[in-house]
């Protein structure tokens, strides 16, 4: 138990105050940093060892506080907060910007024909399904059958929604039809996220006291958390899918874009990426990841259990997921 830093730094919590939007934004700018996708397995493992050792009171000699926090954020970007397992690369929040900018840019570019709409909506919802599963709340596993049924339901519902909206937009002005992908994505998020996290809605997610002691599982906390995630995801899509269409509608009238139509997709992808760099962390920050509920808002049977086992607890906490 030696080192240059004290052992009482609370790395179970983010570095910045999560009671304020700015504190949460600073936290999520670190968690969603796209550069974390490029980190090697050795770097991730080193961060895991530093974090887990520190939690046990073991400090690597010469470790500074800034290095500890850096390790904590590298760890948070790759390992699930409830299970501690390394997350699938494309499902990590740090992969949101590079993957989403490519998929969303292509959705906005290739929206005119039914086959391309189906293909890119399927790609997008497959990606979303991976992200939703990877960032689920709780530590209970889903069976292969449950996961397959959730994926098929989520992607089918999303693609059907996109095609329905495309059909309705046929008689609208050209600029309005550009917003069909956004409307489809917003509607699809309302389908995809609950389906991919349906186990939480059936069995609940863990709720704890302020010290992290598990008190039980709550479906009401799961519902609240999923609604917050849906709102955040739709918010992420607003700048990335609403601003580029307006800019592209103006650019496509310019001579150089007519001369080089091949630039359409890369320019659109770049615009989407620029929006997502800011929209992703800022919308993740709309609600605290460690959310809270009063005991009186929980299911009656869970309320009774908590009042018997922990009568001093009036507020419970849970990971809402991302």
3-state SS of 49-105?
Answer: HHHHHHHCCCCCCCCCHHHHHHHHHHHHHHECCCCCCECCHHHCHHHHHHHHHHHHH
Question: Edge to edge, what strands does the sheet with 205-208 contain?
Answer: 214-218, 205-208, 315-319, 290-294
Identify whether residues 48 and 153 lie together within a single domain.
no
Lowest mean pLDDT among 15-24, 133-142, 306-315: 133-142
Q: Label residue 168 by pLDDT band (50, 70, 90).
A: confident
Q: What is the pLDDT of residue 3?
A: 47
Identify whether residues 48 and 110 lie together within a single domain.
no
Q: Report the domain count for the chain.
A: 2
Tally of CA atoms within 13 A in the half-sphere of 168 that contains its CB:
12
Q: Answer whether residue 172 shows pLDDT above 70.
A: no
Identify whether residues 204 and 265 lie together within a single domain.
yes
β-sheet bridge partners, residue 217:
206
Q: Label residue 129 by pLDDT band (50, 70, 90).
A: confident
Identify whether residues 113 and 214 lie together within a single domain.
yes
Q: Answer whether residue 201 shows pLDDT above 70.
A: yes
Q: What is the pLDDT of residue 177?
A: 67
Identify whether residues 82 and 131 lie together within a single domain.
no
Q: Label residue 224 by pLDDT band (50, 70, 90).
A: very high
Q: Label residue 140 by pLDDT band (50, 70, 90).
A: low
Task: Provide the domain limits for residue 52.
Answer: 21-86
pLDDT digits (tens, 9 = 90+) for 116-128: 878 887 888 788 7
Q: What is the mean pLDDT of residues 102-110?
A: 80
Identify whether residues 81 and 121 lie together within a single domain.
no
Q: How far is CA 132 from CA 92, 128, 195, 306, 320, in A?
A: 10, 6, 9, 30, 12
Q: What is the mean pLDDT of residues 247-274?
A: 79
Q: Answer whether residue 239 shows pLDDT above 90.
A: no
Q: What is the pLDDT of residue 25?
A: 92
% of the chain with per-residue pLDDT over 90: 11
Q: Domain end: 61, 86, 111, which one?
A: 86
Identify whether residues 65 and 100 lie together within a single domain.
no
More confident residue, 143 or 198: 198
Q: What is the pLDDT of residue 1?
A: 41
Q: What is the pLDDT of residue 2?
A: 44
């Amino acid at each position: 138990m030696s080192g240059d830093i004290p052992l009482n730094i609370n790395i179970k919590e983010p570095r910045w105050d999560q009671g304020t939007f700015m504190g949460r934004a600073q936290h999520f700018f670190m968690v969603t940093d796209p550069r974390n996708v490029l980190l090697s397995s050795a770097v991730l493992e080193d961060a895991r060892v530093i974090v887990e050792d520190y939690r046990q009171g073991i400090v690597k000699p010469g470790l500074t506080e800034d290095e500890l926090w850096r390790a904590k954020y590298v760890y948070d970007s790759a390992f699930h907060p409830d299970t501690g397992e390394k997350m699938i690369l494309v499902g990590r929040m740090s992969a949101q910007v590079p993957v989403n900018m490519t998929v969303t840019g292509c959705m906005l570019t290739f929206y005119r024909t039914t086959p391309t709409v189906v293909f890119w909506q399927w790609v997008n919802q497959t990606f979303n399904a991976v992200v939703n599963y990877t960032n689920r709340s709780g530590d209970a596993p889903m069976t292969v059958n449950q996961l397959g049924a959730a994926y098929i339901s989520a992607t089918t519902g999303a693609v059907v929604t996109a095609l329905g909206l495309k059909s309705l937009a046929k008689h609208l002005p050209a600029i309005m039809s550009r917003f069909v992908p956004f409307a489809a994505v917003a509607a699809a998020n309302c389908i995809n996220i609950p389906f991919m996290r349906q186990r939480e809605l059936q069995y609940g997610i863990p709720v704890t006291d302020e010290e992290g002691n598990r008190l039980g599982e709550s479906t009401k906390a799961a519902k609240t958390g999923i609604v917050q995630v849906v709102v955040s995801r739709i918010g992420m899509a607003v700048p990335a899918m609403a601003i580029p269409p307006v800019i592209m509608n103006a650019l496509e009238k310019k001579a150089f874009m007519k001369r080089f139509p091949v630039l359409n997709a890369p320019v659109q992808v770049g615009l989407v990426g620029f929006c997502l760099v800011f929209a992703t962390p800022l919308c993740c920050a709309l609600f605290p990841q460690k959310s809270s509920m009063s005991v009186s808002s929980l299911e009656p049977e869970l309320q009774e259990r908590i009042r018997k086992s922990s009568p001093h607890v009036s507020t419970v906490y849970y990971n809402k997921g991302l």
